[in-house]
Amino acid sequence: MTADSNTFIWILVFAILAAIINGVGILILHKFREWAEKAKPYFMCFAAGVLISTPLMLAMPQAIQKNFYAGFMALLGYLFMFFSNELIKKRTQKEVLAFGIVAAEGIGIHSFIDGIVYTVTFSISILTGFLAATGLVIHEFAEGIITYTFFLKGGVKEKKAMLYAFLVAGLTTPLGAFVAYPLINQLSQSTLGLILGFTAGVLIYISSSHLLPEARGEEKKHSSYAFISGVGLAVFIVLSKVF
């Protein structure tokens, strides 16, 4: 087995595992709705902790290192999500539906980039890829639950919400990995920096303007601990990549 085929197998395994874990989160919310509804603010705070910390600690520093203008792309990513929200709100006349669609849009982009991250890190080394992918797969569980919740909150019927959530948050990860695999070596480091910057802006918007305000609106006892746990997971992911 060649080094390239071995790398592809690792990418394949973790990309599919991410989709499976995401689907498990969706099924748990579907089967145990009462419990899931009570736990939803905790999951949202947890996800917000992950999504606000990861771009600030990892994506942005790496992006700027690769391309000085990555900060401008981060701003563009943030503004893209902001105006997407305004446009959808105007067209649907439903703020709740806009919340769900825009949040799902951001998570879809995020999950697609997760797949690209798998390809990039495993292309560097199997160990680097394994450590990075382990952290990413862990948060797929919460991501599946939250994406499904977004669609339900937007008024989508349960079965369609399950399907849409899996398509947006589950299948986009292996899709990103498989699309990136034949292309990654053709992209310059400067271009990768711009892509990372845009993604960081998207994640910062989703966490700060969607997840946290929504979770704090349904304040639960000890929900701050869930947020700190998300931050802690992000720190683990970053440190696993550094060391």
What confidence tens digit (pLDDT) does each residue in 131-173 have?
Answer: 666 666 766 776 787 778 777 776 778 888 888 888 888 888 8
pLDDT in tens, 180-196: 888 776 778 788 788 77
| Cβ 173 vs Cβ 37: under 8 Å | no
225 Cβ contact partners less than 8 Å away, ≥ 6 residues apart = none
pTM value? Answer: 0.65
Cα–Cα distance, 6 to 150 (Å, whole number): 37
In whole angstroms, how far apart are CA 81 and each of 85, 88, 109, 212? 6, 10, 11, 16
Residue 24, H or E segment: helix 3-31
Q: Residue 69: which pLDDT band, with cuts at 50, 70 and 90?
A: very high
Q: Write the DSSP symbol of residue 32.
A: S
Tokens read off for 130: 């394994």
* Residue 93 Ramachandran class (φ > 0 left, ψ -120 to 50 alpha, else beta): left
**Can you tell me the distance from the alpha carbon of 147 to that of 64, in angstroms, rounded to the nearest whole number?**
30
The angle formed by the CA atoms of residues 135, 180 and 67, to the nearest 5 degrees, is: 80
**Which residue segment(s) compose the domain that 220 sits in?**
3-242
pLDDT of residue 76: 93
- Tokens 């797949």 belong to 115
pLDDT value for 73? 93
Domain count of the fold of the chain: 1
pLDDT for the residue 157: 82
Q: Which of 106, 115, 105, 99 is nearest to 171 (CA)?
A: 115
Output the pLDDT for position 75.
94
Percent of the chain with pLDDT over 70: 75
Q: Measured between alpha carbons, how far is 232 from 161 in angstroms, rounded to an integer? A: 30
Structure tokens at 55: 């771009």
Cβ–Cβ < 8 Å for 146, 48: no
